[in-house]
Amino acid sequence: MALIDTFVLLGSGAPLAAPFGREQLLKRMDELGITHAIAASSLAIASDFEAGNEWLAQEIAGERRLLAWAVVNTNHPPEAIESVRKYMANRQFVGLLLIEGNDHTPVSGAECHDILNAYRRFGKPLLISAPNRECVYAAAEIAKQFELIKVVLVGMGGQDWRSALAAARENLNIYLSTTGEISPDKVREAWPVVNGHRIMFGSGAPLVDPSVPLGMVEEAGLKDFEKTQLFSTNAERAFASA
């Protein structure tokens, strides 16, 4: 069975405690049976998205098991739009991670409007950091404005994960990631909200070892075919156009 981790970090420096690169990731994937992973650059998130994206493109080049999120910061629209055009033409980059200043700040729809107008023609998913309720609400507003873009909530609201469930119930283009709070209850409760389709496995490695969210899914008590959906089928469908 394929097992796709839709969110990991590669790089060095904040927020990572130690450098974590391609070979370390592939080794841990082999140990846990993870077949593919979609990575974002820690440098791109923390400080310099242009340098971080460039480093990540070189780090994963030619490795068929690794794909990437391009990161852009809404505080720099011209550079962000240029990065969209550059990396969405790279087949290993399957989506866009949008931040505003840092990954704990709600993303304003007004600030990212021009960026998403440039991005939506690519038909790829949009990842928005949603570690808290305020970020979930802001992401939901973006989902309403851009109904044809699949909006993935990484962090799933953190401890306020029920806010993410409410957003997914109201917006059919919102997808959930198992990143964030480790709670089998959130997986169990999310499943009927999204009809088992708009939720994907993500670990947030190496900040969280992938074995932990994998264990969370097991504890949620999903049936075997439902775990197949969560671990692979849903992601394959979400990224089919990427």
Measured in whole angstroms, how far is the alpha carbon of residue 193 from the centre of its chain? 19
Lowest average pLDDT, out of 107-111, 145-149, 153-157, 234-238, goes to 107-111
Mean pLDDT for 66-77 is 97
**Looking at residue 109, what is its pLDDT?**
84
pLDDT band at 241 (very low <50, low <70, confident <90, very high): confident
**CA proximity to 170, closest of 136, 203, 204:** 136
Measured in whole angstroms, how far is the alpha carbon of residue 34 from the centre of its chain? 16
Could you tell me the residue range of the domain that residue 175 belongs to? 4-238
pLDDT band at 105 (very low <50, low <70, confident <90, very high): very high
Please report, for the domain that includes residue 145, its CATH number. 3.20.20.140
Q: What is the dihedral of CA 217, 218, 222, 226, to 10 degrees?
A: 70
Provide the β-strand partners of residue 152. 127, 175
Q: What is the pLDDT of residues 139-187, one digit of tens each?
A: 999 999 999 999 999 999 999 999 999 999 999 999 999 999 999 999 9
Lowest average pLDDT, out of 34-43, 107-116, 207-216, goes to 107-116
In total, how many domains does the chain have? 1
* Spatial separation of the C-alpha atoms in residues 35 and 236, rounded to whole Å: 12
pLDDT band at 131 (very low <50, low <70, confident <90, very high): very high
Q: Report in angstroms the alpha-carbon separations of 81 from 24, 121, 200.
A: 31, 12, 27
